[in-house]
């Protein structure tokens, strides 16, 4: 019995390191652009989702869009170090035309390259979603 107790605790510790960390997300969009500036409110938020960017902006190599709502650096100052900031594409609007962006291999390559360049330029951590159609 003496040897079993350390083995049980070793299993508990191993299991606790394998479970995913709890995540808290805050969604910032054009209808809810305010960010709480009180760090007691934003402490513990692990992911910020900035929305929305029109996916059609990434169909050509010229004229990539500016950041939605506010620069990513300004967003980061209101959250804990390590908070991930992602961008969401699409949203409310007539985005059914955006399906053409991925209809051929050439279109997918152009779209993906432009989007990746823009995400890096703006300082986002990743693209979190694409809501391709939501017509009012």
- The number of beta carbons lying within 10 Å of the beta carbon of residue 39 is 10
Q: List, for residues 20-63, the tens digit of each pLDDT value.
A: 667 888 888 877 777 888 888 899 999 999 888 888 788 765 66
The yes-or-no verdict on residue 9 having pLDDT over 60 is: no
Alpha-carbon distance 23 to 120, whole Å? 23
pLDDT of residue 93: 62
With a pLDDT cut of 90, the percent of the chain lying above it is 20
User: At 97, is the secondary structure helix, strand, or coil?
Assistant: helix
Neighbours of 29 (CB within 10 A): 15
Q: Confidence class of residue 124 from pLDDT cuts 50, 70 and 90?
A: very high
At the topology level, CATH places domain 23-131 in: TIM Barrel (3.20.20)
pLDDT of residue 84: 94
Give 116 or 8, the one with higher predicted confidence.
116
The model's confidence at residue 18, banded by pLDDT at 50, 70 and 90, is low
Determine the Cα–Cα distance for residues 124 and 92; give it in Å rounded to an integer. Answer: 21
pLDDT band at 96 (very low <50, low <70, confident <90, very high): low
């Amino acid at each position: 019995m003496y040897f079993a107790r350390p083995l049980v605790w070793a299993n508990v510790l191993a299991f606790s390191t394998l479970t995913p960390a709890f995540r808290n997300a805050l969604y910032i969009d054009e209808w809810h652009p305010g960010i709480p500036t009180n760090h007691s409110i934003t402490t513990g938020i692990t992911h910020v989702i900035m929305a929305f960017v029109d996916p059609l902006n990434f169909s050509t190599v010229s004229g990539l869009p500016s950041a939605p709502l506010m620069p990513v650096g300004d967003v980061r100052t209101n959250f804990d170090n390590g908070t991930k900031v992602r961008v969401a594409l699409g949203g409310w609007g007539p985005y059914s035309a955006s399906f053409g962006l991925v209809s051929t291999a050439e279109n997918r390559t152009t779209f993906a390259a432009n989007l990746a360049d823009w995400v890096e330029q703006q300082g986002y951590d990743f693209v979190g979603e694409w809501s391709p159609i939501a017509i009012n």
